[in-house]
Amino acid sequence: MSARAALAEARAGAAVGEVGSGSAWTTVRRGLALSPQIRAGLGVTLVLALVATAGRVIVPVAVQQTIDRGFGAADDAGVDVGFVATMVAVALGVVLLTAGCAFAMNARLFRASEAGLAALRVTAFRHVHDLSVQTQSTERRGSLVSRVTSDVDALSLFLQWAGVFLVVAVAQVVLASMVMLVYSWQLTLVVWVTFAPLVLALRVLQRRLAAAYLAVRERVGAMLGAVSEAVVGAQVVRAYGIEARTGDRIDAAIDAHRHAAVRAQSFAVGAFSTGELVAGLATAAVVVVGVLLGLAGEITAGRLVAFLFLVTLFVQPVQLGTEMLNEMQNAIASWRRVLGVVDTPADVADPGAGGGGAVLPHGPVEVEFDQVGYAYPGGPPVLHDVSVVVPAGQRVAVVGETGSGKSTFVKLLSRLMDPTQGTVRLDGVDLREVRFDSLRARVVLVPQEGFLFDDTLAANLRYGRPEADEAEIVAALADLGLDDWARSLPRGLATRVGQRGESLSVGERQLVALARARLADPDLLVLDEATSAVDPATEVRLARALRRLSTGRTSVTIAHRLSTAQAADRVLVFDAGRLVQDGPPATLREAGVYARLHAAWTRGGRRDRPQP
């Protein structure tokens, strides 16, 4: 039953969002909403872009002027070098001006986009931590990391590279159109009509492209997930000699990504090469219609030739599009994945998010479970009708066999989950109404596997209370009887503990976790006792530290050691999701589940001593 429930646990809660649904435009809008820095000052940037693009328009205009006025084609007055010289000087000024505007535009665009993306990265990162533990575990570590790294990087590279060009390209199309209109509205119409089908076709192809690129980003996540697993599990990989098999799995992920990327690109290329074809059509149409118009006296030769130049200007963004829309779909897919994280709801929400929520008072906490039940979504209940009051300052041990519901009890107590029935109250306040910053300051959970950061011992301890100074750290260690152990380390408090604390033994990591909790000085200590055994001497040390740690505050400990249970004021015994025994350890020893457990413990521990 426990395993079945555990499976349901894996499905419970919202999974990390895969995709923001909707069109590219929806994604862009949502993305801009989360990164307002991108939009800030965009107006000025676009104006600069327009001005910068004007520098390109200057060429066709200059050519037109040269042909019509300079060469005297228009009024047969002979060649006017002086006019051309003046025109060139003016054009030169325009070119320099537009170059300056281009620089300013680039600088602004980069600053805005990088600021926006950094903000997005941090938002997504923070949101991952806000997600419930169950939701976090629905995705592989490497894949989660990819959402705040490679996915945002793809966006960043796109905005750096193609984003500028896209802005300029749009500006160029607009400007070219404007000038084209001035020269000949009829020919402009011809050009637009020729390009219209292309635009329509693109909209249809959008969805396909979007799906294809999303698949690419997902495969990147999967690939990084596979690599991450191989690295974190490096010991097992080597110990069992499965380098080849692991390598094959990673290769498969790499190839899957490659295929998805090629596929997505084939779509993009096929779609946008037709832009070139349409460009040819447009040029041909302009020539034919232009000549006919010219014969009818509606346009000069110079203007027609200039118009041909303008068509180039109009068409170049399409050529660029071949390179960039590729990247844009990639970027949109990346944006979708990052937004997907941010939009995943946090099952266990902070009531203090909007400034509301209750605050727990200082001092040992009283805990009340009021007919509490819990069932994983779609699964059977793992906790039935649990009602218990733990008075402030009491030392409680929770015991039970695997799957008895004790872990669920403890998770509900520290609000890693919310009960599906009943209410959990701390100091009379419904847990769901307590602000997280107050909750986490008053209630500290020490999980089974104490995670340590790749930093010094002192830094890891300070994690319990960041503002603690060295004196307080030493005091906390001394209080738990651990100061001599800390001094015995090669560099004392400044000893680095390695990635995931690997330089310390498992037992030592437990000691650090307890000291960290001591520094946090909670009013309610919830401890899922680490089960990796240590030598009896260290176990004694741990037990002593734990006893001292649970003094002066309410403590609830899932006990795996006999000594822990025996040292408690009160033992709660769980069996099959119900609270079956409740009382001081001495009285419980006689019968029931606790007696059974007690016997097993003592038999295990006292094999070599004669039974009294």
User: Considering the complex, what minimum distance in angstroms separates the CB of residue 409 from other proteins?
Assistant: 14
Q: Which of residues 233, 363, 381, 481 is near other proteins by CB under 8 A?
A: 233
Q: Which of residues 30, 140, 208, 548 is near other proteins by CB under 8 A?
A: 140
Report yes or no: 435 and 357 within 8 Å, Cβ to Cβ: yes
Residue with tokens 């974190």: 232
Q: Kindly identify the residues of this chain, within the stretch 309-328, that bind other proteins according to CB under 8 A.
A: 309, 312, 316, 319, 322-323, 326
Token pair belonging to 296: 């009818």
User: Considering the complex, what minimum distance in angstroms separates the CB of residue 545 from other proteins?
Assistant: 13
Q: Where are the alpha helices (DSSP H) in 131-184?
A: 133-136, 141-148, 150-158, 164-183
Report yes or no: 91 and 58 within 8 Å, Cβ to Cβ: yes
- Of 369, 359, 374, whose CA–CA distance to 433 is shortest? 359
Q: Kindly identify the residues of this chain, within the stretch 358-387, that bind other proteins according to CB under 8 A.
A: none
Report yes or no: 422 and 346 within 8 Å, Cβ to Cβ: no
Give, in order, the Cα–Cα distances in Å from 277 to each of 281, 299, 584: 6, 26, 86
Looking at the Cβ atoms of 203 and 607, the one nearer to other proteins is 607
Q: Which of residues 464, 524, 550, 573 is near other proteins by CB under 8 A?
A: 464
Q: Kindly identify the residues of this chain, within the stretch 490-519, that bind other proteins according to CB under 8 A.
A: 490, 498-500, 502-508, 516
Q: Which amino acid is at 361?
A: P
- Provide CB contacts within 8 A for 320, sequence distance 6+: 165, 169
Q: Which of residues 539, 576, 578, 580 is near other proteins by CB under 8 A?
A: 539
208 near other proteins, rule: CB under 8 A:
no
Kind of pairing, strands 443-446 and 524-528?
parallel
453 near other proteins, rule: CB under 8 A:
yes
Report yes or no: 348 and 99 within 8 Å, Cβ to Cβ: no
User: Considering the complex, what minimum distance in angstroms separates the CB of residue 475 from other proteins?
Assistant: 19
User: Considering the complex, what minimum distance in angstroms separates the CB of residue 387 from other proteins?
Assistant: 25
Token pair belonging to 134: 């169950």
Looking at the Cβ atoms of 158 and 369, the one nearer to other proteins is 158
Q: Which of residues 273, 371, 387, 551 is near other proteins by CB under 8 A?
A: 273
Query: CA 459, CA 462: separation in Å to the nearest integer?
Result: 5
Looking at the Cβ atoms of 19 and 97, the one nearer to other proteins is 97
Give, in order, the Cα–Cα distances in Å from 84 to each of 62, 64, 88, 306, 372: 9, 11, 6, 16, 90
Looking at the Cβ atoms of 269 and 591, the one nearer to other proteins is 269
Q: Which of residues 177, 206, 228, 423 is near other proteins by CB under 8 A?
A: 228
440 near other proteins, rule: CB under 8 A:
yes
Token pair belonging to 256: 């899957």
257 near other proteins, rule: CB under 8 A:
yes
User: Considering the complex, what minimum distance in angstroms separates the CB of residue 290 from other proteins?
Assistant: 8
**Total residues interacting with other proteins, rule: CB under 8 A:** 208
Among the residue ranges 26-34, 88-96, 179-187, 424-432, the one whose residues contact other proteins (CB under 8 A): 88-96
251 near other proteins, rule: CB under 8 A:
yes
193 near other proteins, rule: CB under 8 A:
no
Among the residue ranges 177-185, 199-207, 234-242, 367-375, the one whose residues contact other proteins (CB under 8 A): 234-242
Residue 191 C-alpha from the chain's centroid: 45
User: Considering the complex, what minimum distance in angstroms separates the CB of residue 46 from other proteins?
Assistant: 15
Per-residue binder mask for other proteins (CB under 8 A), 150-189, x = binder: x--x--xx--xx--x-------------------------
Q: Kindly identify the residues of this chain, within the stretch 473-492, that bind other proteins according to CB under 8 A.
A: 488, 490
Report the run of H or E that residue 403 belongs to, with start and end.
none
Report yes or no: 94 and 55 within 8 Å, Cβ to Cβ: yes
- Of 114, 108, 117, whose CA–CA distance to 47 is shortest? 108
User: Considering the complex, what minimum distance in angstroms separates the CB of residue 305 from other proteins?
Assistant: 6
Helix, strand or coil, per DSSP, at residue 589? coil
Report the run of H or E that residue 371 belongs to, with start and end.
strand 367-375
Query: CA 208, CA 454: separation in Å to the nearest integer?
Result: 44
Which residues pair with residue 388 across a beta bridge?
A: 369
280 burial class (0-12, 13-18, 19+ CB within 10 angstroms)?
exposed
- Of 311, 318, 310, 314, whose CA–CA distance to 202 is shortest? 318
Q: Which amino acid is at 290?
A: G
243 near other proteins, rule: CB under 8 A:
yes
Query: CA 228, CA 526: separation in Å to the nearest integer?
Result: 31
Q: Kindly identify the residues of this chain, within the stretch 9-38, that bind other proteins according to CB under 8 A.
A: 9-10
Query: CA 386, CA 296: separation in Å to the nearest integer?
Result: 94
392 near other proteins, rule: CB under 8 A:
no
Query: CA 561, CA 82: separation in Å to the nearest integer?
Result: 100
Residue with tokens 């050529």: 319
Among the residue ranges 266-274, 352-360, 383-391, 471-479, the one whose residues contact other proteins (CB under 8 A): 266-274
Q: Which of residues 85, 200, 349, 494 is near other proteins by CB under 8 A?
A: 85
Looking at the Cβ atoms of 153 and 385, the one nearer to other proteins is 153
Among the residue ranges 2-10, 38-46, 199-207, 475-483, the one whose residues contact other proteins (CB under 8 A): 2-10
Q: Which of residues 139, 218, 368, 521 is near other proteins by CB under 8 A?
A: 139
User: Considering the complex, what minimum distance in angstroms separates the CB of residue 39 from other proteins?
Assistant: 17
Q: Kindly identify the residues of this chain, within the stretch 545-584, that bind other proteins according to CB under 8 A.
A: 560, 562-563, 566-567
Among the residue ranges 100-108, 195-203, 359-367, 425-433, the one whose residues contact other proteins (CB under 8 A): 100-108
The helix/strand count (H/E) of the chain reads as 23, 10
User: Considering the complex, what minimum distance in angstroms separates the CB of residue 100 from other proteins?
Assistant: 8
Among the residue ranges 169-177, 299-307, 360-368, 469-477, the one whose residues contact other proteins (CB under 8 A): 299-307
User: Considering the complex, what minimum distance in angstroms separates the CB of residue 434 from other proteins?
Assistant: 12
433 near other proteins, rule: CB under 8 A:
no
Strand order in the sheet with 367-375: 381-390, 367-375, 421-426, 429-430
Query: CA 375, CA 13: separation in Å to the nearest integer?
Result: 12
Helix, strand or coil, per DSSP, at residue 521? coil
437 near other proteins, rule: CB under 8 A:
yes
Looking at the Cβ atoms of 246 and 344, the one nearer to other proteins is 246
Q: Which amino acid is at 274?
A: T
